[in-house]
Structure 1
Amino acid sequence: MTLTEKTARSIERVLVIFPGALGDLMCLMPALAAIAQRHPGASIELMARFELARLAAGRTIVARAHSIDAREVGALFDDDSSHNARPFFADFDRIYSFFASDDARFRARLAAATDAVVSFHPFRPGGDGHVSAGYLRTVDADASQVVTRLEPTADDLAAASRVLAEAKCDAAGLVVIFPGSGSPAKNWPAHKFAELAAMLAKGSGILRSADSALNDKEDGQKDKEYSCVVALGPAEAAIEPVFREAGVPVLKGLDLPTVAAVARLASAFVGNDSGVAHLAAAVGTPGVAIFGPTDPARWRPLGPGGGAQITILRRVPIDSIEPREVAGALSKFVERLQR
């Protein structure tokens, strides 16, 4: 904090402007926590894609959500109406912007729209290590404080329980599969996700332990049964038939808070390098993240324990990873939680 900044006691409202997608936001969470610690007692407010800001509000240290598509933001790019931004931005006592930080005109107009100290920080910062550590460095916080936590509300958990009941899934021992991502190149093939579920299936959509599926159990040991469900976003509609044909229950059309709560109810998850894998890790669920072309050292999901509960399987090409490998990695989480 510079000498020109207000004292921490005088800062009541802090705005963080962030342009990223779901996975990016989860990686920002440690930096948001550091900002909150820097301004104790202040209301930390997030301006982002509204569905993401809304997800964070009340479930993280974020107290209030604002849309990055608001007209006040657009006004900062308009020569004739930039003054219209001041009634909104002037209400904040401190602003951190990860948006348009390399746009000199935007920087000048945002600074002119408030009397608060405004600092600009790179989106997806470079450097060694995980991107979360990079965000911490950009706000001058200790890069060892890489901790991410998102707490679903009671309403979120109730909504998740309802959709699981409608899908005839038992929440006890739930394994949730997230087969999508923001890029087809990062996706393990849908048929391999379906093969994973089918290989472990004992009846329609019910998983047994990976040890049993691999014929590596003691004689006479009773199979343990686990619920399995696939969660699909709008971009994964084309692969829904793959899972329906495999007899795996499918959840779709869920908002992000409900997805987070479904993950929270799960014993484990399996997914690609994706925003929902980051979300599942952020609610504290252990699991397996499948990587191909992207670097897990930079992009792996991080949970409250810093990612220790997440197993990474990486190979290029990504489709050379076999379902049996994923089942083996998954089994250690499910078996441990069932003891």
Structure 2
Amino acid sequence: MSTPLVVFHRGALGDSVMLWPWLRAAAARRPAVTLVTDREKAALAASVLGIHGADAERREFNALWREGAEITPTAPVGEVIAFHRSGVWEHNALRMFPEAALRAIDARATRPLIDQLTREEGGPVPLPRVDHPGGPLVVHVGAGSPAKSWPIDRWPGVVASLRTRAINAPWRFIAGEVEAERFTRDDRAAFDTLGGRYLATLDDLRRAITPARAFAGNDSGPTHLAAQLGVPTLAIFGPTDPTLWAPCGPAVRVLAAGGPIDGLGGDGVARALTELLAIG
């Protein structure tokens, strides 16, 4: 396709990064691609993908939700895709983008959906694996819910297991502000024992992941981000379905419990991470 594309999407980091293979494909074949989302996610996508990012809280975008709002038409856009449905919003969007074909998708951005949208753009754009042989092993210990978080107190055993296999890379354990608020006393103690560091921004997260030799994390936004940065990634899944939510990247290994995430033992995590590191 050769017309500009504007995408409206609001959601968690993982849901936002799930769009990236499609947005990368669109950016390779269209004159312009704009993602309208939360400001920090818009800036992250713009920086990594080279697309335009726009803050969804801008006055003109908020006006799309109001019946009878004053709408100013924009420069020509060929297609608008929104990940929500609203009669008022769609009516106003057609006034803002009078030359555009409007498509409203009332569904979350699962892997099958993004694969379909990517095929419509002509297929995926190759994403190279990034190798940092001397880099740290980075682990993000959090997730959107406790049910998706592998027990933090099992990570020391994984560290010890990899050292017995002559893998002596430095480790970096990280978490976000949500984890800082949600951790139990035991979680916080285990995280502190691991030398864990809390990150405040998405830019901090990107800078922590970029130099990694490999990354390990739960079914979470940081794991999706690591995969899309080309870093070898181990994604640890519990009750969620990896056929719908697995991260997309050039070197992704999924370890799925198929049920409660604490059913995965440390030996299995250590073995999966070792195998990931062995793939050149």
- Asked if TM exceeds 0.5, the reply is yes
Distance (Å, rounded) in 2 between the aligned partners of 1:148 and 1:262: 23
- Structure 1: gaps of 5 or more residues: 2-7, 153-169, 201-207, 218-222
User: Is residue 171 of structure 2 the alignment partner of residue 233 of structure 1?
Assistant: no
Which residue matches 1:260?
206
Secondary structure of 1:15 counterpart:
strand
2:233 to 266, 280, 287: 287
Which residue matches 1:71?
59
2:114 to 128, 135, 148: 135
Greater Cα shift, 106-115 or 327-336? 327-336
Distance (Å, rounded) in 1 between the aligned partners of 2:200 and 2:228: 18
1:30 to 17, 21, 28: 21
> Identity of aligned pairs, percent?
27
| TM-score (norm: length of structure 1) | 0.71
User: Is residue 80 of structure 2 the alignment partner of residue 96 of structure 1?
Assistant: yes
1:111 to 84, 91, 94: 94
CA positional deviation for 1:37: 4.0
Q: Which amino acid aligns with 2:228?
A: A
CA positional deviation for 1:267: 1.2
Closer/same/farther in 2, CA of residues 149 and 182 from structure 1, 3 Å limit: farther
| Count of residues in Structure 1 that have an aligned counterpart in Structure 2 | 274
Distance (Å, rounded) in 2 between the aligned partners of 1:79 and 1:273: 38
1:328 to 247, 254, 271: 271
Q: Highest Rg: 1 or 2? A: 1
Closer/same/farther in 2, CA of residues 271 and 18 from structure 1, 3 Å limit: same
Distance (Å, rounded) in 1 between the aligned partners of 2:128 and 2:19: 12
CA positional deviation for 1:241: 2.7
Which residue matches 1:53?
42
Cα RMSD over matched residues?
2.9
Q: Which amino acid aligns with 1:35?
A: A
CA positional deviation for 1:186: 1.2
| TM-score (norm: length of structure 2) | 0.85
Distance (Å, rounded) in 2 between the aligned partners of 1:139 and 1:335: 30
Distance (Å, rounded) in 2 between the aligned partners of 1:58 and 1:70: 19
Alignment of 1:1-339 (within 5 A): 8=2, 11=3, 14-39=5-30, 42-62=31-51, 64-80=52-68, 82-83=69-70, 85-86=71-72, 90-100=74-84, 102-124=85-107, 131-138=110-117, 141=120, 145-146=123-124, 149=127, 172-197=134-159, 199-200=160-161, 208-209=162-163, 212=164, 223-237=166-180, 238=183, 239-244=187-192, 246=193, 248-303=194-249, 305=250, 308-336=251-279
Q: Which amino acid aligns with 1:53?
A: A
Can you list the C-alpha shifts for 1:68-127, whole angstroms capped at 9, x where unaligned? 1222122122224x21x32xx513423423233x2122111110123231322415458x
Closer/same/farther in 2, CA of residues 91 and 20 from structure 1, 3 Å limit: same
Q: Which amino acid aligns with 1:331?
A: T
Distance (Å, rounded) in 2 between the aligned partners of 1:329 and 1:98: 37
Closer/same/farther in 2, CA of residues 60 and 230 from structure 1, 3 Å limit: same
Distance (Å, rounded) in 2 between the aligned partners of 1:229 and 1:20: 27
